[in-house]
Chains A and B, each alone.
Chain A
Amino acid sequence: MSERSNPRADWERGAIAADLRRLLRDSDVVDAPAELHTFAYDASFLTQLSPRVPDAAVIARSVEDVQRVLRYADERGIPVTPRGASTGQAGGSVALIGGIVLSLNAMNRVLEIDVPNMQVICEPGVVHAQLNERLAPHGLLFPPDPGSSRMATVGGMASTNAHGMRAVKYGPTSAWVLGLDVVLAGGELIETGSAGSRAKQSSAGLELTKLFVGSEGTLGVVTRLRLKLMPVPPARAIVLALFDVLENAGEAVQAVYRAGISPSAIEILDERCIRAVNLYRPNIELLPVEALILVEVDGNPPGVRWDAETIVDVVRPLAREAKWSDDARHIAALWEARSLVGAAVGTLRPGSNRAYCGEDLCVPVARIPETLRAIQDISARHGIPIATYGHIGGGGLHPGHLIDGRDPDEIRRVLLVADEIHDLALRMGGTTTGEHGVGAARAGYMEREHGPALDVMRRLKRALDPRGIMNPGTIFPDDLPTLPVELPLAHPVGEPAQATLDPG
């Protein structure tokens, strides 16, 4: 049973739910066993292996709900983990050591679209794609665009400082957050980014907004966001370039920048990802090459055309094929394929599952080809197929490991693979997480990644959350216990996964 690993006794857990019911609407407090189980995971492999069932969950409907829960939890020293859509891949939105999961996805109102000042005020549970659908009629855009746009909440994006494909030109979420309402441990509500302000910039004091963005719920709970917007670019084009040699793809990116162009996205797919796209969306018909890159440019129509033609010119000598298109449907189809490839790589090995671990390294752009080769080497050494894609313009790479989820030895090996990938990222002069966040999965690498700076983070955390109730176990390795592993049922239930990636 998953409850086994929870240190709290049954009576204690019942008491927490009963207390919460006195503070909140009865129906917004969750303590039924199967319901609690649905708060035990995110998209990480870590929570596939170790679901973390909370003692209770709360569906917050207002900032007052959040304040009541935090005041109560702080008095009793009960951990609180804020949660959006739980689409994270690092275990940052689950109750790692028990306590209360505070779900914010029902706080999903767009409160005000301030068109002349180009900003939007919204609650944290708004789903990213739905926010942009609401903004589109006003010709406005919130540009950070994670692959999980259709399910991730803007609150979660701020908490993890999500980037997405267009971050290479427009920057991460932090560049677009002007202010936040945050409830601190203990229940105090503050507004960052100058209280009541609608200014688009400010030099007034410490930038608290940036402190909370990316803090993964370890410093407070975001209950409202003031986001900066931009006009929707009137034109867009995409260049598709295919390479027989991986290193040429890296060279091509350098050539694009040398030509004086700032693309709005540059993505790379390796040979296995190309095969996965062809399996998942056969009508796209990509050539089977070692790597492809997708380069998107946006702006005014003649400029976009010049950019696209220039990119084709400079890339063509390095590529098997390079062509551009400004057909909206073609662009949408290629981006859809790109954003779904992460989950679709599973089709490469029938019966296998993608394991999201060691999935988010970021290395210096110039070392990407070298890193990709090293990942292939790790893959071969451990016998775990890996399909890699990522933001080659910014250095972010997402290796997708395919394992037979019922084979304990493959589970053991994929964890070694993840560890070696994190190690590789740091050796290359990069980071263990380019955009997904630390969560619990990467907390163990923070000491090595930050050195003495981690201790400054600790001191900040203690100043804001002296009792340590805010999402313990995330980012800071100190609170993280060894999590018990719950293996799936072993074979022979159903068919085993194929032994190799290449059938026949």
Chain B
Amino acid sequence: MIERRFPDDVKASPATAHGARVPLLEREYGNLLSCVRCGLCLTSCPTYVLTGHEAESPRGRVATMRALAEGRLALTPDLVQHQESCLVCDACTAVCPAGVHMDPLQVALRTTLTERRPPSRIRRSLRTLVYRGLFGDLGRLRVALQLPRWYQRLGIAALARRSGLLRALRLSHLEALLPPMPDAFVVPRGETYPGQSGGARTDTVALFAGCVMSTALAPIDRATIRVLQRAGCDVVNPAGQQCCGALHAHGGDATAARALARRNIVAFGGCGDATVVVNAAGCGAMLKDYPHYFADDAAWSARARAFAARVRDVTEFLAPRSLPYTRAVPRVVTLQDACHLAHAQRITDAPRALLRAVPGIELRDMGESGLCCGSAGVYNVTHPDQATRLQQRKLDHALATGASVIATTNPGCLLQLRAGLAERGRDVVVKHVVELLDEATAP
């Protein structure tokens, strides 16, 4: 069942055949046309699985986008609703035998929406404050995050929860996602963490610190650095790096995404051809996709391609290497496949191989492991109902394995699952794969 509540600020306008053109989608027209409508994507799509409604399926979304590009449909409220409810998890892309790629379609459509929609106050402030403000600059984000830090430290959090104020303001759902703020953030200043080679050759790698990973989840960045050092790598943390821009692109602000991409390409240009290691699957998928954003930009396309070729997810980078394990981690673990690792980057073996290699870990796969947990960037904020249903479904599968640890490779999944577990009062913990590797290799 889907709730049929269409966004009210998009007015239906009559389509004229080949009239109201959508140039950004026309550039993806070949991508749209390659859909042969076989339907293989249907059962891979979280929103179709939840609703059974064709308009909530990848095939339906591609069909309506194509009709839009051809001027046979207009940006009607129903069209917009079903496109915006796409999680951009790329599960459909991963199973498509005809090579349709959903991510660029959604970016093109959402960017068009940003341009065409009457600029509502909420949407404009989201764009100026959140996308371009908070996530537009890592320094600003660090300053801003002092606020939740004090909120948690001074006991306001407990007070707000007890008083029912959060529920009254409909913020309890958001607040549940907020992790406890660490004492110190990881601030990229161009510093190098020397590798512990034990006589073997050391590689130099560059850490993509990430906006959430370096601040709210800074302990994971630290664990990543330690594990890379123990794997024999000098780890450089290039100054000037920024948020990857995925939030911006999927929120319909491709311009801001491109600006961030340029700054990252410049920042990482300073460390030669060192592999760029990233511990957030969503960021990794975006960094690897930079060339797409500069396809028509002669000055930047080659640089974007060269940069993207250097990017590796941390599990992808570590899996072929031998790690110096120092202790057993006697835990039953299940892996939550992050969509942007499993689908967008097609990496499913590497995290499993790493977990299986840890002495003591018993890895148990969960059912429907390819189905999104509902986090999906800011989806759990924009579509809380659908997101919660997916979260609960994911937790049911994870808990059914009997695991005491849910391992993942992406900050969004991690926070989403933690929030759900806290609500259920379960003592199962959610950890990034590198945290388990860190534990097993600690001196």
- Closest residue of chain A to B59 (Cβ to Cβ) is A38
10 new A-B contacts, CB < 8 A, other than A34-B73, A38-B55, are A2-B72, A26-B4, A27-B2, A32-B76, A38-B59, A148-B38, A151-B38, A151-B42, A356-B36, A489-B29
User: Shortest distance in angstroms between B296's beta carbon and chain A's nearest beta carbon?
Assistant: 12
User: Shortest distance in angstroms between B423's beta carbon and chain A's nearest beta carbon?
Assistant: 28
- Whether A34 lies near B30 (C-beta < 8 A) is no
Alpha-carbon gap, A405 to B30, bound state (A): 9
- Whether B78 lies near A33 (C-beta < 8 A) is yes
Q: Interface readout for B327-363 with A: 1 if CB under 8 Å, 0 if not?
A: 0000000000000000000000000000000000000
Interface majority SS (helix, strand, loop, mixed), chain A: loop
Of B60, B67, B78, which contacts A2 at CB under 8 A? B67
- Whether B79 lies near A489 (C-beta < 8 A) is no
Which residues of A sit under 8 angstroms from B96, Cβ to Cβ? 343
Which residues of B sit under 8 angstroms from A2, Cβ to Cβ? 67, 72
Q: Interface readout for B403-422 with A: 1 if CB under 8 Å, 0 if not?
A: 00000000000000000000
Q: Interface readout for A340-367 with B: 1 if CB under 8 Å, 0 if not?
A: 1011101100010110100000000000
A316 at the interface (CB under 8 A from B): no
Alpha-carbon gap, A125 to B38, bound state (A): 17
Alpha-carbon gap, A239 to B18, bound state (A): 52
Of B30, B37, B72, B77, which contacts A495 at CB under 8 A? B30
Alpha-carbon gap, A356 to B39, bound state (A): 13
B150 at the interface (CB under 8 A from A): no
Given that A32-B77, A38-B55 are contacting pairs, would A85 and B42 also be in contact in the complex, using a CB cutoff of 8 Å?
Answer: yes
- Whether B97 lies near A38 (C-beta < 8 A) is no
Q: Could you name 24 residue pairs across A and B whose Cβ atoms are closer than 8 Å?
A: A2-B67, A26-B4, A33-B15, A33-B74, A34-B55, A34-B78, A35-B78, A40-B63, A41-B37, A59-B53, A86-B54, A103-B54, A105-B52, A106-B52, A108-B52, A125-B52, A148-B40, A150-B40, A152-B39, A343-B36, A343-B38, A343-B97, A353-B36, A406-B33
User: Shortest distance in angstroms between B197's beta carbon and chain A's nearest beta carbon?
Assistant: 34
Q: Interface readout for B73-91 with A: 1 if CB under 8 Å, 0 if not?
A: 1101111001000000000
Q: Interface readout for A233-261 with B: 1 if CB under 8 Å, 0 if not?
A: 00000000000000000000000000000
- Whether A342 lies near B4 (C-beta < 8 A) is no
- Whether A33 lies near B12 (C-beta < 8 A) is yes
Alpha-carbon gap, A492 to B46, bound state (A): 35
- Whether B97 lies near A340 (C-beta < 8 A) is yes
Alpha-carbon gap, A150 to B95, bound state (A): 11
- Whether B79 lies near A85 (C-beta < 8 A) is no
A317 at the interface (CB under 8 A from B): no
B26 at the interface (CB under 8 A from A): yes
- Closest residue of chain B to A488 (Cβ to Cβ) is B33
Given that A353-B34, A354-B98, A489-B26 are contacting pairs, would A34 and B39 also be in contact in the complex, using a CB cutoff of 8 Å?
Answer: no
- Closest residue of chain A to B35 (Cβ to Cβ) is A353
Of A37, A40, A150, A353, which contacts B43 at CB under 8 A? A150
- Whether A48 lies near B37 (C-beta < 8 A) is yes
Which residues of B sit under 8 angstroms from A206, Cβ to Cβ? none
A195 at the interface (CB under 8 A from B): no
Given that A27-B2, A59-B52, A489-B70 are contacting pairs, would A347 and B99 also be in contact in the complex, using a CB cutoff of 8 Å?
Answer: yes
Which residues of B sit under 8 angstroms from A43, Cβ to Cβ? 36-39
Beta-carbon contacts under 8 Å, A1-47 to B: 1-2, 4, 26-27, 30, 32-35, 37-43, 47
- Whether A351 lies near B37 (C-beta < 8 A) is no
Alpha-carbon gap, A151 to B30, bound state (A): 24
B167 at the interface (CB under 8 A from A): no
Alpha-carbon gap, A494 to B25, bound state (A): 11
- Whether A344 lies near B97 (C-beta < 8 A) is yes
- Whether B33 lies near A37 (C-beta < 8 A) is no
User: Shortest distance in angstroms between B142's beta carbon and chain A's nearest beta carbon?
Assistant: 42
Which residues of B sit under 8 angstroms from A33, Cβ to Cβ? 12, 15, 73-74, 76, 78-79
Alpha-carbon gap, A40 to B97, bound state (A): 22
A493 at the interface (CB under 8 A from B): yes
Alpha-carbon gap, A108 to B48, bound state (A): 13
B426 at the interface (CB under 8 A from A): no
B1 at the interface (CB under 8 A from A): yes
User: Shortest distance in angstroms between B154's beta carbon and chain A's nearest beta carbon?
Assistant: 45
Given that A85-B39, A151-B42 are contacting pairs, would A37 and B73 also be in contact in the complex, using a CB cutoff of 8 Å?
Answer: yes
Alpha-carbon gap, A343 to B79, bound state (A): 27
